[in-house]
């Protein structure tokens, strides 16, 4: 199979690497050779790390021999799948899809790695709307196992099934959304974690370090919430915040992320975000061992969002947990954690914050109903899951 990746930045070069590791012939396109050469170095560096760890069998050189690079779309003429990973700008993405539609063969599937732009809007500029789909990878793509597969209202069942199969061939775990929603599953939940983290700090309930200490030390997440946002890029984080809220989700008034972006402190890539990263290299921020931030409070808004996703039949509880375990390396699913904490405690936190004037924390009907019916989680044998 021949795969074209358009855009060789953080996500693009990682996706190309994953495709090459799986044995596909890969073509990587970007606008300049400087950018492509930098991508090649990053891929080699990542492949060497994976090889040293025994995570891949082929040598980095053998894998890179399957990758060719180009500054022209002409290489799309014989591909089976194109994955676009250019910056999150609608006009730019539409131009890329017009080019891909013009050059690539009729059977080729055109996928976008967008984290927030509607897939249907992108599909509309092509003459193959049924073959356009969302294929959302996670940073860093060679490590994170999840791929969200998002059919637009035009995508055919055949295309969706093929992409699910291709994701499996790439050694990824696909989660397929039934209906497209802004931010998909992953970023809607991630946004809610950011919003609650932000609210706690801006309202003076806790410090950045305390919030992240609870995330890392109590919940055992691989990164704190602010730390993860620095890692993803605060511009990217703010973008998805704006897009998801701009398309109907309730907002949580909080300015810290916007202020950081305005100050051009974008996280790891600029050397400073909520923490410092000398030379623009990720280093683990040191955090206090103890924190007064309760797990139930930090997760409350995310669990409420998960309930919304289930209530609206976008995905089920298990699929949400797969997203969090394989897209964010959570040690347990979000809803497994919620069941362990107790859904009554989650709802108490939501009510308390809601009573302070934050509309987004109004407990979702499904969650409210579960608590009213005594489905309080593991302690009573049933919550989002059943326990025997």
The partner residues of 132 in beta bridges, in order of sequence, read 110
Q: What is the largest CA-CA distance in the chain?
A: 61
- 139 touches ligand 3HC by CB under 6 A: yes
CA 62 to chain centre: 29
- 236 touches ligand 3HC by CB under 6 A: yes
Nearer to ligand 3HC, 1 or 55 (CB): 55
Task: Please state the length of the chain.
Answer: 388
Closest CA to 172 of 138, 199, 146, 193: 146
- How far does the chain reach from its first CA to its final CA, in angstroms? 46
Q: Which residues of 93-132 are buried (b: 16+ CB within 10 A; e: fewer)?
A: bbebbebbbebbeeebbbbbbbbbbbbbebbebbebbbbb
Looking only at residues 209 through 228 of this chain, which bind ligand 3HC when binding is defined by CB under 6 A? 222-223, 228
Tell the smallest beta-carbon distance from residue 175 to ligand 3HC (Å).
13
CA-CA distance, 102 to 179, in Å (whole number)?
28
Tell the smallest beta-carbon distance from residue 17 to ligand 3HC (Å).
8
CA-CA distance, 361 to 341, in Å (whole number)?
18
The catalytic residues are 115, 136, 148, 187
- 115 touches ligand 3HC by CB under 6 A: yes
Interface residue with ligand 3HC among 329, 344, 354, 380 (CB under 6 A) is 329
Nearer to ligand 3HC, 233 or 377 (CB): 233
Nearer to ligand 3HC, 73 or 138 (CB): 138
Query: CB nearest ligand 3HC: which residue?
Result: 115
- With helix as H, strand as E and coil as C, how does 27-46 read? EEECCCHHHHHHHHHHHHHH
Tell the smallest beta-carbon distance from residue 156 to ligand 3HC (Å).
25
Nearer to ligand 3HC, 222 or 250 (CB): 222
Nearer to ligand 3HC, 3 or 232 (CB): 232
Helix (H) or strand (E) holding 261: helix 256-262
Write out the two tokens for 351: 């009510």
Looking only at residues 54 through 113 of this chain, which bind ligand 3HC when binding is defined by CB under 6 A? none
* From 59-67, 135-143, 355-363, 378-386, span contacting ligand 3HC (CB under 6 A): 135-143
Looking only at residues 32 through 51 of this chain, which bind ligand 3HC when binding is defined by CB under 6 A? 46, 49-50
Please tell me whether residue 4 adopts helix, strand or coil conformation: strand
Tell the smallest beta-carbon distance from residue 368 to ligand 3HC (Å).
29
Write out the two tokens for 365: 């009907």
Interface residue with ligand 3HC among 53, 313, 356, 372 (CB under 6 A) is 53
Residue 120 near residue 94, CB atoms below 8 Å:
no
Site residues, ligand 3HC (CB under 6 A): 46, 49-50, 53, 115, 138-140, 142-144, 186-187, 190, 222-223, 228, 232, 236, 284, 327-329
């Amino acid at each position: 199979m021949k795969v074209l990746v358009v855009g060789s930045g953080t996500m693009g070069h990682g996706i190309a690497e994953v495709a090459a590791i799986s044995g596909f012939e890969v073509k990587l396109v970007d606008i300049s050779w400087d950018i492509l050469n930098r991508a090649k170095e990053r891929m080699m560096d990542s492949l060497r790390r994976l090889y040293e760890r025994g995570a891949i069998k082929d040598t980095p050189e053998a894998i890179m021999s399957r990758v060719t690079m180009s500054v022209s779309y002409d290489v799309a003429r014989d591909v089976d799948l194109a994955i676009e990973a250019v910056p999150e700008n609608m006009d730019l993405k539409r131009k890329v899809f017009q080019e891909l539609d013009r050059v690539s063969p009729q059977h080729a599937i055109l996928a976008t790695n967008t984290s927030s732009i509607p897939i249907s809007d992108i599909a509309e500029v092509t003459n193959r709307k049924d073959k356009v789909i969302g294929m959302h990878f996670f940073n860093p793509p060679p490590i994170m196992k999840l791929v969200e597969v998002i059919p637009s209202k035009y995508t055919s069942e055949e295309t969706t099934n093929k992409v699910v199969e291709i994701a499996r061939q790439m050694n990824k775990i696909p989660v397929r959304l039934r209906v497209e929603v802004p931010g998909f599953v992953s970023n809607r939940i991630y946004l809610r974690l950011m919003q609650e983290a932000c609210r706690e700090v801006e309202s003076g309930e806790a410090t950045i370090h305390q919030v992240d200490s609870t995330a890392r030390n109590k919940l055992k997440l691989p990164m704190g919430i602010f730390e993860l946002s620095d890692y993803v890029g605060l511009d990217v984080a703010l973008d998805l915040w704006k897009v998801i809220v701009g398309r109907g989700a309730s907002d949580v008034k909080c300015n810290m992320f916007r202020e950081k972006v305005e100050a051009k402190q974008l996280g790891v890539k600029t050397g400073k975000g909520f923490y410092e990263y000398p030379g623009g290299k990720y280093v683990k921020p040191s955090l206090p061992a103890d924190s007064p931030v309760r797990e139930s409070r930090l997760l409350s808004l995310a669990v409420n969002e998960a309930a919304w996703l289930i209530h609206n039949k976008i995905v089920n509880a298990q699929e949400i947990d797969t997203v969090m375990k394989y897209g964010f390396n959570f040690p347990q699913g979000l809803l497994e954690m919620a069941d362990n904490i107790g859904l009554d405690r989650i709802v108490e936190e939501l009510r308390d914050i809601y009573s302070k004037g934050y509309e987004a924390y109004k407990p979702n009907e499904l969650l409210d109903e579960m608590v009213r019916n005594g489905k309080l989680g593991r302690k009573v044998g049933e919550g989002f899951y059943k326990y025997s």
